[in-house]
Amino acid sequence: MTGGDRSPPRIAIGTRFRLSALGAARNPHLAKKEGIIVGGSRLNSSLRVLFDGRKSPMSLHRDYIEPIPSEAG
pLDDT of residue 39: 95
Cα 22 from Cα 20, distance rounded (Å): 5
pLDDT of residue 6: 54
pLDDT of residue 10: 75
pTM of the complete model: 0.79
Q: Name the helix (H) or strand (E) containing 24.
A: helix 21-26
Q: If you average pLDDT over every residue of the chain, what do you get? A: 87
Cα 73 from Cα 24, distance rounded (Å): 29
For the chain, which residues make up each domain, given as ranges?
16-67
